[in-house]
Structure 1
């Protein structure tokens, strides 16, 4: 077993621990949809789906460019993926949203954001502290391990199908969000009163 690279050999074929953008979104969207249908007998609203889409991608949108494009961070799973950094920030987000009367949106955002981190760090369940990226989860308390392949090209889709599936998932999510917002009688824009 090659724990350092995040791979294991099973039947002589390496299995990588990677969750791509569509997987991050679905990891949060499926439980949210099941909960919403079971609780209120309807699908999640368009704004909630759009918020979830943003929240599930945000850790990578922050960390990957800082690491792979600008070389500011040694890893694409560090600053925004760290529980030490993200938990206080998400707590403030939830408290501010609740104070403004949008606590549900703050919770959805936080759940989506944390589901991204869970999707990236799920090998910890099996490998524990031996998982190569374990220290990154607790950066800056622990020194982060650098990426082995720090580039977007190294993580790009290797087939048309692996490119089409995320585009279809995102297309459906954004289309659903826009259609429900357009068809809604309620005003979707949020006005935050200044005090």
Structure 2
């Protein structure tokens, strides 16, 4: 999945959680925490891969051996500061990133590429990229098509929710 799509999925998952648990749309800071959590695996792994430190672009940040403990630590720290929702939002974002990297491999039958889930215990081969999903009317449908649909749906939801997080970003940055 392309990195920006993970941000959208993190928001969608957190929005679903807030509607289910609280009956309301997401609020600003927790929505941002979900997006930051969703960004973390790529912010960690991609630069380390580009610098030649990691053998692949899905390693530390994409491993459940990293994601679960970090989610717990962030949640505990947030809870101690009476900011439980920030910790929950971050964990939802981070874990949604790892979880949404799985289906493309399952659909394409590239099960060996799931090694990132328990890296470094399991081997992670180089990621082979966009996966073909089939043909519709003579046109090849790939994972990029589905990712495009997810982005449009997620941005539409965020807009409909009142663009949570935008005001908070503007309050911190001089824009």
- Common topology (TM > 0.5): yes
For the pair 1:27 / 2:30, whether they are aligned, the reply is no
Task: Name the SS for the 2:46 alignment partner.
Answer: helix
For the pair 1:83 / 2:71, whether they are aligned, the reply is no
In structure 2, the CA distance between the partners of 1:106 and 1:38, relative to structure 1 (3 Å rule), is closer
1:132 maps to: 112
Provide Cα deviations, 1:8-67, integer angstroms capped at 9, x if missing partner.
xxxxxxxxxxx2233212323223223434554432111112111111111001101110
- The RMSD of aligned alpha carbons is 3.5
In structure 2, the CA distance between the partners of 1:135 and 1:42, relative to structure 1 (3 Å rule), is closer
Corresponding residue pairs, total: 150
Unaligned runs of 5+ in 2: 130-143
Whole-Å separation in 2 of the counterparts to 1:112 and 1:136: 17
Match of 1:141 among 108, 121, 126: 121
For the pair 1:98 / 2:79, whether they are aligned, the reply is yes
Whole-Å separation in 2 of the counterparts to 1:104 and 1:33: 12
In structure 2, the CA distance between the partners of 1:148 and 1:20, relative to structure 1 (3 Å rule), is closer
TM-score by length of 1: 0.62
Match of 2:32 among 50, 67, 75: 50
- Select the structure of larger CA radius of gyration: 1
1:61 maps to: 43
